[in-house]
């Protein structure tokens, strides 16, 4: 999986929520989500920069 694929996967998963019951094996709480969003740990660890770039881009768009 290249960095572009990881970025897309992290971005899409970061937009969904698994609810209060928590994530599943291999998932982690998304940084900055307050625990409401879980993302695949392997995708985040492979390219954490993409996650934060996407997070900050969304913050800027909402201002």
Three-class DSSP labels, 1-38: CCHHHHHHHHHHHHCCCCCCCCCCCCEEECCCCCCCCE
| Alpha carbon distance 31, 1 (integer Å) | 22
Is residue 46 predicted with pLDDT exceeding 70?
yes
Q: What is the pLDDT of residues 28-41, one digit of tens each?
A: 999 988 999 999 99
Q: Measure Cα distances from 47 to 6, 20, 28, 54 in Å.
A: 7, 26, 14, 11
Average model confidence (pLDDT) across the chain: 75
Of the chain, the percentage scoring pLDDT greater than 70 comes to 62
Higher pLDDT, 10 or 21: 10
> Would you list the domain boundaries of the chain?
1-7+40-63
Query: Does the structure show a pLDDT above 50 at 18?
Result: no
């Amino acid at each position: 999986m290249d960095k572009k694929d990881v970025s897309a996967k992290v971005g899409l998963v970061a937009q969904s929520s698994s609810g209060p019951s928590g994530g599943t094996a291999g998932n982690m709480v998304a940084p900055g989500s307050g625990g409401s969003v879980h993302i695949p740990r392997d995708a985040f660890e492979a390219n954490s920069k993409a996650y934060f770039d996407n997070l900050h881009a969304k913050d800027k768009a909402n201002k």
